[in-house]
């Protein structure tokens, strides 16, 4: 769990820049949006796999109708509001920053490894989403 918290710290610190953020940058908002994108893609993949075994929704069947678009928009609004509340209002980003800024795990080597893991995570997510329909139709 500590490694996952460290990756969230790295995401936040990309925008926060060790306590010296750009004035034109909103580090809290940008970090929440990146986390929401991570969570949304994970939920999309998990829901698609669940739907292939238990037909629980028609979200993946047929064209993208207005009903499906509203479901996706409502899911995004829900994720943004929950993440904003937890990470910004409850100051969890600040808690993570204070926990890891001087921690033994926060070395240059571990930061590089963490950033590589985040990049590989995005690549893996896009590969899985790109092949999802083919894998689930078998």
pLDDT, tens only, 21-31: 777 778 888 89
pLDDT in tens, 55-111: 766 666 666 677 777 888 888 899 999 999 999 999 999 999 999 999 999 999 999
- 3-class DSSP state of 57: coil
> Quick one: what percent of the chain has pLDDT higher than 70?
91
Residue 59: predicted pLDDT: 64
Angle ∠(119,136,57) on CA atoms, nearest 5: 100
pTM: 0.79
The answer to whether residues 111 and 10 touch, using CB atoms and an 8 Å cutoff, is yes
Residue 46: predicted pLDDT: 84
Is 90 exceeded by the pLDDT of residue 132?
no
Residue 82: predicted pLDDT: 94
CA-CA-CA-CA dihedral for 57, 61, 67, 72, to nearest 10: 70
């Amino acid at each position: 769990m500590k490694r996952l918290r460290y990756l969230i710290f790295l995401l936040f610190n990309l925008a926060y820049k060790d306590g010296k953020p750009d004035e034109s940058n909103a580090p809290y908002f940008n970090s929440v949006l990146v986390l929401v994108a991570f969570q949304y893609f994970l939920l999309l993949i998990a829901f698609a796999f669940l739907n292939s075994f238990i037909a629980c929704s028609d979200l993946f069947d047929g064209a993208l109708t207005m009903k499906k678009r509203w479901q996706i928009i409502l899911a995004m609004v829900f994720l943004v509001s929950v993440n904003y509340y937890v990470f910004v209002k409850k100051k969890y980003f600040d808690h993570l920053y204070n926990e890891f800024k001087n921690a033994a795990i926060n070395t240059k080597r571990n930061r590089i490894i963490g950033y590589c893991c985040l990049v590989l995570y995005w690549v893996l997510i896009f590969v899985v989403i790109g092949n999802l329909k083919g894998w689930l139709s078998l």
